[in-house]
Each structure stands twice: as structure tokens, then as C-alpha cells.
A = this chain, B = another copy of it.
Amino acid sequence: MLFSTKAEYGVRLMVELGRQPGSAPISLNAVAEAERLPLSYLEHLVAKLRKAGLVTSTRGAHGGYRLARPADEITMDAVVEALEGQIAPMECFHETPEGKVLCSHEDDGDRSCSTKLLWTRVQGGVTKALAGTTLAELVEFSSPGGRSEAAIASAA
């Protein structure tokens, strides 16, 4: 598996929040029941989403969570990265702050890493798919009158 259930559950959580357009916050309990997911586990996930600035919370009775931004301004690379950590295809694969790609097998004077080409392409494919999908799309897709399956293919 490329991703664990953290991403799976977390994305579902975000979709659930995006489904309600009202300004009232939604309790985790409501999300847990709607998606049939364990509440106590969702707590861990939503904490990551909050720390990443993707959702806001209001405490106390009638509290809950809201999207921090409109759903069409939330791309899924931010969501998945908040939940799973940095998305790299491989352990040896690091990204410098300037966005340059490094492989730890290169900088020790060795010949250039034979697998770098492959992992770079893979990462490109994943990030393009994630960054090219907004939460709004998922909300629309999952709603009863949502778009057809044909929409799945289009990644651009």
C-alpha cells in the first residue's frame, strides 16, 4: 500500500466537513458515525489536520471542526502530507528547502544514483495527482447527484 488508513480516514473526514456548507462546526462524533470510523482514532488524525492549518476547531458543547478554507482552495497534497508526513517515494530521497531533489547515495562522492530518475518520475506523478485534486472535487464527486465515473480519468 502506498498510503495507510491515516490518509484514507483523514480524507474522508475532510470530505465530510466539506459536505456541510453551513457555518456551524461539526463534531467528530458526527463524522465518526457517518463514516463508521472509530472516534478515538479520528482524534489523532484531526489533530494533525488542525496543526497543518487545514481545519479550525471550537471547543466545548456544540463545538466541532470546520474547514479553515473553502473546499476549492484545499488541494489534496496538503491534506495527505499533513496526515502521512512528507511524501517521498524512498528513504534515500530528500528534498532541500530550495526544492532541489537529493538522493543520499549521491553526495558521498559516488556515481550518480541509478534509481534517482525513476523515483523522481514517481514522485512527480503522485504529487501531480494530489496537487491537481481539490477537496471540492471529492465533495462533488461523492454527493448523490455527483459527477460520473468519467471524471475519474481526468487528472489535469
Chain B residues near A130 (CB, 8 Å)? Answer: 118, 122
A98 shortest CB reach to chain B, Å: 15
Q: Give the interface size class of chain A.
A: 35 or more
Give the interface segment out of A1-9, A52-60, A62-70.
Answer: A1-9
A73 shortest CB reach to chain B, Å: 17
A90, A121, A133, A146 interface centre (most CB from chain B within 10 Å): A121
In the complex, A125→B128 CA distance in Å?
8
A84 shortest CB reach to chain B, Å: 9
Contact in complex: A126, B124 (CB < 8 Å): no
Contact in complex: B11, A115 (CB < 8 Å): yes
Chain B residues near A129 (CB, 8 Å)? Answer: 118, 121-122, 124-125
Known: A2-B89, A91-B1, A122-B2. A115 touches B155 (CB 8 A): no
Contact in complex: B112, A8 (CB < 8 Å): no
Contact in complex: B1, A89 (CB < 8 Å): yes
Contact in complex: A142, B87 (CB < 8 Å): no
**Can you list 23 A-B contacts (CB < 8 A)?**
A2-B122, A3-B89, A4-B91, A8-B92, A8-B115, A11-B114, A15-B115, A111-B142, A112-B141, A112-B142, A112-B146, A114-B138, A114-B139, A114-B142, A116-B141, A118-B138, A121-B133, A122-B130, A124-B129, A125-B125, A125-B128, A125-B129, A125-B155
A-to-B contact residues, CB < 8 Å: 1-5, 7-8, 11-12, 15, 76, 87-92, 111-118, 120-126, 128-130, 132-133, 137-139, 141-142, 144, 146, 151-153, 155
